[in-house]
Amino acid sequence: MKKFVITIAREYGSGGKQIGKLLAKELGVGYYDRELLRMASDDSGINESLFANADEKFKRTLLFKTARGAYTGELIPPDKGEFTSNENLFNFQARVIRRLAESESCIIIGRCADYILRDMEHVVRIYVHAPFEHCVNESMRIHPQMTREEVTRYITKIDKERALYYKYFTGLDWKNADNYDLCLNSKELGWEKCVSLVKAYLEIKLS
């Protein structure tokens, strides 16, 4: 099979990460999620903890930020005060994502990868979703210590942060189907059928 990249955006509790891991295993390719923070740290020389901490702090302040506009890929040099800004940390992650897409077949989770790689023909962009109640039920299995009300609030918070993060760095609506090649309802299909559908689409696209 030709070189390919599959990006996966997902609602919390929909199983997007699990589908990504299954795809990586069946296709025999790399799987990248939070590993991207370490790789961006190695690339930039900026401590990995700064990437992780900035990521979480930034999400908490997104409600008070206006969209910065589309990602351009420009990096701020080390001698500038904004070198460790949220925008520049994102740009380093984006550079790592583009290098991966240029060098190997892989699965990339989140991080606006679908937008960052929008100009590459060998990329398949996936959005995994499910009815809210299904996401709550699935999340309660992962977090048995949490009440249903707590899980409901948590999912709402995470998905809102993801939508705002995507809007800030791309200027687009995270849930808009126009951003993706395939939108998969994981409740209706289940993880295995989602994997089969993505593999079938990939073969058709690359043939």
CATH number of the CATH domain containing 134: 3.40.50.300
Largest CA distance in the chain: 52
Q: pLDDT-based confidence at 115, cuts 50/70/90?
A: very high
pLDDT reported for residue 60: 60
Whether the model pTM is above 0.95: no
| pLDDT > 70 fraction of the chain, expressed in percent and rounded | 82
Residue 143: C-alpha distances to residues 21, 59, 139, 151, 153 (Å): 20, 21, 6, 8, 13
pLDDT reported for residue 47: 73
pLDDT reported for residue 81: 45
Count of structural domains, the chain = 1
Residue 76 pLDDT greater than 90, yes or no: no
48-61 and 86-103 helices cross at what angle (nearest 10)?
Answer: 120
| Residue 163 to residue 69: CA distance in whole angstroms | 14
pLDDT reported for residue 48: 73
Instruction: Output the CA torsion sign for 131, 191, 29, 5.
Output: negative
pLDDT reported for residue 46: 74
Average pLDDT, the chain: 87
pLDDT reported for residue 49: 73
Residue 136 pLDDT greater than 90, yes or no: yes
Range(s) of the domain holding residue 52: 5-206
| 39 contacts 89 by C-beta, under 8 angstroms | no
pLDDT reported for residue 41: 82
Distant-in-sequence, close-in-space partners of 11: CB < 8 Å, separation ≥ 6: 128, 129, 130, 135, 155, 159
156-181: average pLDDT: 92
Count how many residues are written for the chain: 207
